[in-house]
């Protein structure tokens, strides 16, 4: 990857501003963006309120028609140019992801690389045939075609701010929609400013993309604005329920990709070292702040002790600290409130009989890699998404019991099954109620070519990525054509 050493993200262009057709001050004022590892102020950006969202939605609506009529090859060219810019400036931009979201360097580079791939995938959507001729009941011609919704509102979270924003933005743009995007106010640079800059430099027409960092009131305004036809939301189940409620009241299409309590099932014939490595990666990567994180490690009781010992050893050798200045495996938790919530869940498990074998402590926002053994239904650690670096070990006696434990969750995002017997692993996996299933792998997987999403509290059955993008970001239009108008009996 070519890493330019120029100041692509020149702060003088966007400090104190949002991107509403162009860099502009917001009526909602400004907000300081801080580094969660040390509290230092990184920059200030425009902080949008409902009035700013309304303006952005109006600008997007006005720009969308001509963008939809732009030749597909031209839309694809602009998207590929944006991908080039993200790739060429990846070294500089990854530093912002590290400082703003508490990411270690490898995780930040995953965001750059996946972000590039998502945009390039979206570029191919622009030129994908999306229509069909239909049978008719008379001599007229009938066909169906996919047309853009109009303006798509995107709301994204803090944890993978670049990827979880650009995957919806790029697909929506490729298919002829305009976009109003509200990144999480804690990560407005990685989740917004970077994206505005690459599309600005790539030559995207004015008004087609608008990026307005803001709080809950801005999100509510986006969901209810009459100029916005669809919302693509990634975040918590609670937030998603609210988005779905408001969008339902206003009859908007809504795509929800929510949290998960994802089970990794380790069968008794699994390689112990490999299984423990998978569990550690799935539970501890990015401090567990991932919707697909391994929330439950379900282990056959015959190998429970061996897996637990290996996982504890790994946890004790994963240092937590500031990724910008130290060689660490875990960065900071995003907020003090989230640290307190992790501690609440760990303390509840211990009070109800779980064994704390590693971690369970924090220094400020740096939460130690934690292993809880003997986790059972009834403990908050079994039921709730933790969003922290906590491996919860649950034992089972039979494959049937493992399936029942995994399916007892209200969530249904991801699951993994590890076994030396591929047929056995597939048989277990086929019975799991999840949106994504990984055989002989842990639960944290993503990319532009697969339809990503979940069921139950993990989503509303919608997907983003791969073959799902055309389905989600366009709608059918039926067209019938007569050579000449003909009379009717009335």
Active site residue ranges: 257, 291
The SS3 of residue 366 is strand
Alpha-carbon span 470 to 111, nearest angstrom = 23
Alpha-carbon span 89 to 112, nearest angstrom = 9
Binning the chain into helix, strand and coil, the percentages to the nearest 5 are 40, 20, 35
What token pair was written down for 232?
A: 């693509």
- The H-or-E segment that residue 319 falls in is none
The SS3 of residue 226 is coil
DSSP 191: I
Asked whether the beta carbons of 59 and 20 are under 8 A apart, the reply is: yes
Alpha-carbon span 192 to 183, nearest angstrom = 6
The sheet with strand 141-148 has its strands ordered as: 131-134, 141-148, 474-481
Alpha-carbon span 490 to 480, nearest angstrom = 21
Alpha-carbon span 1 to 91, nearest angstrom = 9
Asked whether the beta carbons of 424 and 430 are under 8 A apart, the reply is: no
């Amino acid at each position: 990857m070519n890493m330019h050493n120029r100041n692509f993200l020149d702060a003088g262009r966007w400090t104190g501003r949002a991107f509403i057709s162009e860099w502009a001050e917001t009526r909602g004022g400004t907000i300081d963006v801080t580094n969660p590892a040390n509290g230092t102020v990184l920059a200030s950006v425009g902080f949008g309120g409902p009035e700013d969202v309304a303006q952005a939605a109006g600008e997007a609506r006005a720009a969308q028609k001509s963008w939809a009529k732009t030749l597909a090859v031209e839309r694809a060219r602009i998207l590929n140019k944006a991908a080039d810019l993200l790739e060429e400036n990846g070294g500089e931009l990854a530093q912002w992801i590290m400082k703003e979201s508490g990411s270690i360097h490898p995780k930040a580079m995953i965001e750059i690389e996946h972000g590039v791939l998502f945009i390039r995938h979206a570029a191919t959507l622009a030129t994908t045939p999306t229509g069909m001729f239909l049978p008719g009941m008379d001599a007229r011609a009938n066909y169906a075609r996919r047309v853009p919704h109009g303006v798509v509102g995107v709301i994204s979270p803090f944890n993978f701010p670049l990827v979880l924003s650009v995957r919806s933005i790029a697909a929506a743009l490729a298919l002829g929609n305009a976009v109003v995007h509200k990144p999480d106010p804690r990560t407005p640079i990685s989740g917004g400013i970077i994206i505005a800059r690459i599309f600005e430099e790539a030559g995207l027409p004015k008004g087609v993309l608008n990026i307005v960092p803001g709080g809950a009131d801005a999100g509510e305004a986006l969901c209810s604005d009459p100029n916005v036809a669809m919302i693509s939301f990634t975040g918590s189940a609670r937030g998603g329920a609210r988005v779905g409620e408001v969008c339902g009241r206003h009859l908007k299409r809504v795509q929800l990709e929510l949290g998960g309590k994802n089970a990794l099932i380790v069968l008794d014939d699994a390689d112990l070292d490999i299984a423990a490595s998978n569990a550690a990666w799935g539970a501890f990567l990015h401090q567990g702040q991932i919707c697909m994180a391994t929330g439950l490690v379900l282990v056959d009781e015959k190998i429970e002790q061996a897996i637990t010992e290996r996982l504890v050893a790994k946890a004790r050798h994963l240092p937590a600290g500031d990724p910008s200045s130290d060689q660490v495996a875990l960065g900071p938790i995003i907020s003090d409130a989230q640290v307190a919530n992790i501690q609440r869940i760990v303390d509840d498990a211990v009070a109800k009989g779980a064994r704390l074998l590693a971690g369970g402590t924090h220094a400020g926002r740096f939460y130690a890699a934690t292993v809880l053994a003997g986790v059972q239904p009834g403990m908050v650690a079994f039921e709730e998404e933790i969003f922290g670096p906590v491996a919860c070990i649950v034992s089972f006696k039979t494959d049937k019991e493992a399936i029942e434990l995994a399916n007892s969750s209200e969530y249904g995002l991801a699951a993994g099954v590890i076994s030396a017997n591929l047929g056995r692993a597939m048989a277990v996996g086929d019975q799991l109620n999840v949106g994504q299933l990984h055989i002989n792998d842990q639960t944290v997987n993503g990319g532009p070519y697969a339809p990503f999403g979940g069921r139950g509290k993990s989503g509303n059955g919608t997907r983003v990525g791969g073959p799902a993008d055309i389905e989600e970001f366009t709608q059918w239009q039926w067209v019938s054509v007569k050579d000449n108008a003909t009379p009717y009996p009335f």
